[in-house]
Amino acid sequence: MSIQEEIRQLAKAKNAVIMAHYYCENEVQDVADVIGDSLALAQKAAQTDADIIVMCGVHFMAETAAILCPNKKVLIPDATAGCSLADSCSAQELAQFKQQHPQTLVISYVNTSADVKALSDVVVTSSNALKIVHQMPQDAELLFGPDANLGAYINKQTHRQMMLWHGGCHVHGRFSAQQLMAIKAQYPQAPVLAHPECGKDILDLSDVIGSTQALLSYVQQHPEIPAFVIATEPGVIHKMQQAHPKAQLIAVPYVDENGMVRCNQCEYMRQNTLVKLRDCLRNEAPQVTVDADVAQKALVPIQRMLSLS
């Protein structure tokens, strides 16, 4: 039996749903029941009637599922799959900020720990941040965190002046604008599709800015365009290629400290391997749980997001 068959058999026998983010390895995406961006994964987790949710993603995604589904077992193939963006805001720092700014509404990106969500007024993802910030009272003082790039982009789009947390994603923050300009010179007709976690230098060179799902949908909806330049984690190219088989999909790289041009993968997402997925289904571990009090508090801003989006 192939490992894929073994995984599917285990999932069926245990009534488990396998969810995967677009940044996972192609083979992990191919074996999953649900593939999506952060918002879709949270929405699908909230709706599932499976007994077990296996979240092939990073830790905060499994935590979000555990908060939304307190009576389900939430597993993650590798419990050490973290997120540099989530790590850029600790609950302690945010609590301190709130003490100093008691009137400020805290808008937290979904890429945060459950403890940070528990201190937030509303959670957003890159899919709904714009829509949700538009719905915030005009006279309210707002903090957006932890992604300063996404926050600055939303400020520009909404003409708000939200305070921005100083966090960021190491993957989206390191794309090379110089490499992107060279690609644009080579493919002048190809639209540049960028995730809003990218820096302003990359976003200013881009034609379409959106969540992983929005960028995938753009490729899907434009069969007449022969080439696209992709400025987000290249895992998303797998589904783009399936949606538009003839498209040339060019991934923007980064330049490492030794001057080497490299493929810009998120090493945390790539920790989800087929072997770890199989073993996690077999052993029903590692399980991700959230302290009941924290989960109860974090559920409020997550549910607010689901109803506003």
Pick the piece of the chain touching ligand 13P (CB under 6 A) from 11-19, 125-133, 134-142, 257-265.
Answer: 125-133
- Dist CA 125 CA 134 (whole Å): 14
Smallest gap from Cβ 283 to ligand SF4, in A, equals 24
- Nearer to ligand 13P (CB atom), residue 3 or residue 214: 214
Contact 125, 214 (CB under 8 A): no
Tokens of 64: 């979000």
Determine the Cα–Cα distance for residues 183 and 251; give it in Å rounded to an integer.
9
Sheet of 34-36, strand order:
34-36, 16-21, 52-56, 73-75
CB nearer to ligand SF4: pick between 19 and 83: 83
Q: Which of 31, 32, 34, 171 binds ligand SF4 (CB under 6 A)?
A: 171
Size of the site for ligand SF4 (CB under 6 A): 12
The residue among 97, 195, 66, 99 whose CA lies nearest residue 108 is: 97
Segment 265 to 294, residues that bind ligand 13P, using CB under 6 A: none
**Rounded distance between C-alpha atoms, residue 274 and residue 29, angstroms:** 10
Stretch that binds ligand 13P, among 70-78, 120-128, 252-260, 283-291 (CB under 6 A): 120-128
- 224-249 exposure pattern, b = at least 16 Cβ within 10 A, e = fewer: ebeebbbbbbbbbbbbbeebbeebeb
Q: Is 24 in the site for ligand SF4 (CB under 6 A)?
A: no
Largest interatomic CA distance in the chain: 61
- Report helix angle 38-47 to 59-68, nearest 10: 30
Q: Which stretch binds ligand 13P (CB under 6 A): 42-50, 124-132, 136-144, 283-291?
A: 124-132
Nearest approach in angstroms of CB 209 to ligand 13P is 11
By C-beta, is 56 or 171 nearer to ligand SF4? 171
Distance CA 16, CA 66 (A): 14
Collapsed DSSP state (helix, strand, coil) of residue 248: strand
Among residues 112, 120, 176, 211, the one that binds ligand 13P under rule CB under 6 A: 211
- 268 touches ligand SF4 by CB under 6 A: yes
In this chain, which stretch among 168-176, 184-192, 239-247, 286-294 interacts with ligand SF4, using CB under 6 A? 168-176
Cβ neighbours, 10 Å, residue 71: 5
Query: Residue 268 binds what, of ligand SF4, ligand 13P, none (CB under 5 to 8 Å, by partner type)?
Result: ligand SF4
Among 28, 85, 219, 299, binds ligand SF4 (CB under 6 A): 85
Token pair 């307190």 is at which residue? Answer: 70
Q: Is 149 in the site for ligand 13P (CB under 6 A)?
A: no
Structure tokens at 82: 């973290």
Chain residues binding ligand 13P by CB under 6 A are 37-38, 111, 125-127, 169, 172, 195, 197, 211-212
Chain residues binding ligand SF4 by CB under 6 A are 58, 83-85, 111, 169, 171-172, 233, 266, 268-269
